[in-house]
Structures are given as structure tokens and as C-alpha cells.
Structure 1
């Protein structure tokens, strides 16, 4: 029998999670959104879509909160009459919202697990960081759920905002690199579509090398940099123009923005 999951909030992240879960055998998924016309396409994949948050909550054990931070109070007020601490596990994918802040809205007694996946969940390639909590059963169920959507890592509470930047915002950062590499490919002679294919597949290969070897990036870089070669010449030019520094500063700036919002 499939486990019922309700995703409250069918925006970009909520829809990505739903798409990924549609590829699994273990879960039956419902997604809610005020304007269901925007998520009607999910029905083609066997996903239930509705604007009725309360009915969706009543039929599920695992509730993924995937609305904007400004929407959470109204959402909890709406579903509070049907929330049951003995039945529901609340999984929050809301940036910057703490367990304590959610508890203030729901009342005590709920098992709350914060997670930070990314939109690659739609193709079951998410990197999801999961908050360590005293709720062992809920924690294990959450890990099991997100393991079907990619890789998971259990982290301390104080690292949740940092995981948002590195893992969730990181999708955009790496895509911007691929876009820039594609543009460089066009300059050296490739058509746009071919340049993007080469850049994207090369990025995928680089990531796969690290994930398989569990080694340091420099070890793989050393394998393709020869004395007086074109690779080291290109790398040094990028570094002279601030490639690593810009990436690090961008990550830190995104983190500082989350801290300001909090």
C-alpha cells in the first residue's frame, strides 16, 4: 500500500517534488494550490491536484509545507482544525522558518522536520539536507521519502540556512556557469544547441567523477592540466578574473540575505 503524501504549495519546488514522487512506487501524492489550473498538468502523471488544503491534509500522514514564508500563517490557520499530532509528520521546506516558529502556529506536540531539497527533485536528482531532530521515527520516514528523490544528508539545525544557499540556490549558480560555458562555446565555433549539450554533459561528468571517487576536485583537475597546456591557461585566466572568488562571495551574499530576512 502506498504512503499518502500531501505537498501544500504547488509552486516551483512543490511541483518539482511531486514530479519526482510520480516516478516512485512507494508514494501517492497530492499537491495543493489556490489556482489549480497552474498545476493541472501534474494529473497526467497520476498526481492528485486540489485547492482544498483541509481534505488533502486529512488523507495524508506526510505533509510537506512548500509555501512562501509569508503564506505559512494563513495556511496553518486553515488546516489547523484537521491537524493531528498523533497522525501527521510536518516536513517544512520553507526557507528561514524554524521548528519553533512552526510550533507557535500549530501548537505543541507535532513532529516537525525541516528539509532543503532543490528543483532537481523533479528528475530524482535532488540534494536534500535534512535537519537532525529528536523525532527519530519521523526523521527516518523523511530520509526514506527524500532518498527516492536523490541524495540526502542529515545536518545540524544551525546549518539549515547554509544548506539552502549551497544546495537549493546552488542549482541556479551551476546553471549560470553552464550558460556561460555555452556562450564561450559559441564564441569558439559551436552552434548554441551543441555548445549547451557539451557544457551540460561535461558538468554532469565532472560531478559524477567526484561523487564516485569521493575525492578532491583538484585531484581530477590535475588529470587534465598538462604543462603549458590549454587547460591550465584557461583556468588561470578564469582565476585572474575572479571565478572562485565570485562564487564564494555569491554564496556568502545569498546566506547573508537569508539572515537578514530572518
Structure 2
């Protein structure tokens, strides 16, 4: 498979670098476009084997999968600039554009050929460049074989969940926005550690290792967080006092509100 990523910004660039580091697609089978050479230079610095260009029309020629990774308000204009070149008998299109529905994407891709395109909506998070993303994929008009190929590609970049389109907004909230929510807790804990007397670097190391330990417990034991919480809380104990204080400040409600607002 040859892939062209239209838009080499934070997400498009992360997908390109992560894919190049995997084993399914040769790095020279990946092409990334951007408006400026400055953006493309960042891609080349990350992996010089990736092909780069500012010419979207040239980039889509010969690609099996075109990934649109531009800002939502630019999607229609950008797609219109190359859709006449697309051959939907052999080329599929994926969008990582937030909020861009299949219906709208289908209308944008209409090039008068009368052939419905195979389309994917893909929502990774920024850890995709490290192979540690959570990625949600929804498909329309794609064969089972093509869907399996796209899923296999993103499985190399973390954990992939195939969902109906109706669940894409929830997936965005829980995992794409969610990576910032997780980092928000870590940031608060590190600053809290400084308030307790540790310097910033010490607090960072302590909090990161604590988080890694918590994740390892869940992975190895196959448990839910509440089970592991119960193991370290006793009536009147310090952990329970700390949890009670967090609950009094509305910890759970704040998390629920953030997830709901970001859908």
C-alpha cells in the first residue's frame, strides 16, 4: 500500500512518522504534503526517507490511500483541489478531520465519476508517532479486506477500535481529547508534588512512575481501576482521606463534564 497524507501538521506528521517506523509500509511509500517547506522540513528531520511535497495533486497520483489531515474549515477547499484526479475503483480516502461526517465527506469527494468512494474516518491521538495511540476507525463503502488492511496499519501504531460512525465523537472525547485530560491530571499531580516539597524534576519522575505502575497493575491483573483502588484503601486510612477530599472537590464530576463537553 502507498499512502499520501494531505496535511503534514501535528496529526498528519505523527501518522507519517509512526507509519514509517512500522514494518507494513516502506517509508518511501509514504508521501506527506504541506503548504510550507518549513512544515515539511520537520517531517524530513523526523525521517528523511518519507517523501514530501507541497503539490497535493502530484501527491495523490499513485496513492492507494489518501489521508486528509487538515483543519476542518480547510477540508472542502483542499479536497476540491485534487478530487478530479481520484480513481475510486482503486483509491480509498480516509479523513482524520474532526467532526467531518461521512455524508459531508462523500459530498466533498464527488468528482462526477458516479463511483462511490471507499471512505474511512480515523481518529488517533498524538501518541501515534510513538506507536502508542488509541485509534478509532469507522468505514463506509470499504471491503472487509480493505478495512482489515487499514486496521492492521493502525494496529502497528497502538490499539485500534473499529466502531460505527455514531461513536466517533465519543471516541474523540475519550481518547483523542482524552490524552490531554490524562496529562492534565499528571500536570496537577506534579505541581502538587512541588507543593509537598519535591523539586519539579523529582515530582515528574515520581508521578510518571506511579502512573506507569498503576497501568501495569490494570494490564497484568486484568482488573478495573476500582478493584485496585479498593486494595489500597482502608477505613480511616490516608489514601481514603485523599480520595474523599478529591471527591468533595468534584473530581469525578469534573472528568465527566470534560468528556461530555468535548464530544
TM-score between the two structures when normalised by the length of structure 1? 0.91
What per-residue deviation string (whole Å, max 9, x for no partner) do you get for residues 101-160 of structure 1? 111111242100111110010110000011154522221121011101100111111111
Aligned residue for 2:229, secondary structure, equals: helix
Q: Secondary structure at the match of 2:73?
A: helix
* Match 1:196 to one of 191, 198, 204: 204
Query: Structure 1 stretches (4+) deviating beyond 6 angstroms?
Result: none
C-alpha separation in 1, matches of 2:255 and 2:101: 27
State the match for 2:7 in structure 1: 9
> Is the contact between residue 116 and residue 141 of structure 2 (CA under 8 Å) also seen in structure 1?
no
Which residue matches 2:31? 30
Q: Is the 8 A contact 1:6 1:60 kept in 2?
A: yes
Q: Contact conserved, 2:122 with 2:137, CA < 8 A, in 1?
A: yes
SS at match of 1:96: coil
Q: Quick check: 1:170 aligned with 2:178?
A: yes
The answer (yes or no) to whether the contact 1:113–1:138 under 8 Å persists in 2 is no
**8 A Cα contact 1:13 1:66, kept in partner:** yes
**Aligned positions, number:** 253
2:19 matched residue in structure 1: 21
Is 1:239–2:237 an aligned residue pair? no
CA distance in 2, matches of 1:76, 1:137: 25
The answer for the alignment partner of 1:128 in structure 2 is 135
Summarize the Cα distance change of 1:15–1:208 in structure 2 as closer, same or farther, 3 Å threshold. Answer: farther
5+ long unaligned stretches in structure 2: none
Structure 1: unaligned runs, 5 residues or longer: 256-262
Give the secondary structure class of the aligned counterpart of 1:22: helix
